Amino acid sequence: MSASDAIPAASAATPQVLLSHHLKALKLPTFLSEYAKLAQECAQEGVDHARYLLRLAELELISRERRMVERRIRAARFPAVKSFDTFDFAVIPALNKMLTLELARCEYAVRRENIVALGPSGVGKTHVALALALGLAACQRGFSVAFITASALVNQLMEARDERRLLRLQAQLAAAKLLIVDELGYVPFSQTGAELLFETFSQRYEKGSTVIASNLPFQEWTGVFGSERLTGALLDRFTHHVHILEMNGDSYRLKQSKSRRRKTAKAEDPAASEAIDPLTGEILKPEP
């Protein structure tokens, strides 16, 4: 739709109708919703035109920022909706249930403490991180939350640097009340990538909470960041105020697919007493 299509005939339209049209075309929704009320207030207070416009522009800027934050949270695209209601603590006895549920109360975010979830693939690290993130996003305090995998974050930082908008992205990342960095450890970073990630963590130090989920214990992080010095400095800051969720256990995914296979094998051949797991070669005993 071109602007001229929708412009009401000037002769018939009141200035308010035209103004409303133009403000919409200019994408200034707060100007539109606030100008009349603010004009009244400014008239009462004897505020001049320039200051009236200034106030309107400030309101527009503030609400634009708010809309941006909302967009950013949507853009953070939580990969799934997970909560502690659907998390079975019994299958992962290594995980400190008391501590996890205490963290779910969000107080750590007020105190700007960090969390790290450590354990092999499939033990529920992402589930726990998402449950914490969504809990915090939904909490009454309206905290802003960003969820990203470590490699996507590094890619975004590198892209922003190439496009000369790194400072803006870093400011956004530093401003999130909670930044969740998932899957740290699967892909090693380039030197620049590692430095950019280090800067991000460094800028968040004592400003906001960071949750990291990693398949690697701390002593193996050097392999991901490529530099002992950088890793040391990072861990020093990150672990200053940290809650560690040890999640050593068997993969929940693997366990589920094994039990699915057992059920299928039994259904197909009720007489079969055992089956071989095609992934592990393990002999699967039939369920009692």
Q: Which one of 127, 177, 237, 258 is in contact with ligand ADP (CB under 6 A)?
A: 127
Does position 245 bind ligand ADP by CB under 6 A? no
Site for ligand ADP in 89-118 (CB under 6 A): 91-92
Q: Say how far residue 24 (Cα) sits from the centre of its chain.
A: 31
Q: Is 185 an interacting residue with respect to ligand ADP (CB under 6 A)?
A: no
Shortest CB 127 distance to Mg ion, Å: 8
Euclidean distance between CA atoms 196 and 192, whole angstroms: 6
Among 71, 168, 240, 253, binds ligand ADP (CB under 6 A): 253
Q: How far apart, in whole angstroms, are the C-alpha atoms of residue 175 and residue 185?
A: 24
Instruction: Encode burial over 121-143: b for 16+ CB neighbours within 10 A, e otherwise.
Output: ebbbbbbbbbbbbbbbbeeeeeb
Based on the shown chain and the rule CB under 6 A, indicate whether residue 124 belongs to the binding site for ligand ADP: yes
From the list 48, 18, 45, 20, the residue with the least C-alpha distance to 35 is 20
Distance CA(259)–CA(251), nearest Å, equals 12
* CA neighbor of 182 nearest in space, from 144, 146, 158, 156: 146
Selected range binding ligand ADP among 28-36, 123-131, 143-151, 271-279, rule: CB under 6 A: 123-131
For the bound state, the minimum distance from the C-beta of residue 247 to ligand ADP, rounded and expressed in Å, comes to 7
List, in sequence order, the alpha helices (H) in the chain: 3-6, 15-25, 29-45, 49-75, 97-103, 107-110, 125-138, 150-162, 166-175, 191-204, 222-225, 228-238, 252-268
Q: Which of 35, 56, 82, 103 binds ligand ADP (CB under 6 A)?
A: 82
Query: By CB under 6 A, is residue 87 in contact with ligand ADP?
Result: yes
Binding part of the chain for Mg ion, among 117-125, 130-138, 159-167, 240-248 by CB under 5 A, reads: 117-125
Minimal distance, residue 121 CB to ligand ADP, in Å? 4
Number of residues that bind ligand ADP (CB under 6 A): 16
Task: Kindly tell me which residue out of 30, 100, 114, 126 binds Mg ion, with binding defined by CB under 5 A.
Answer: 126
CA distance 76 to 72: 6
**Residues of the shown chain interacting with Mg ion in the complex, contacts defined by CB under 5 A:** 125-126
Q: What residues line the site for ligand ADP (CB under 6 A)?
A: 82, 86-88, 91-92, 119, 121-127, 252-253
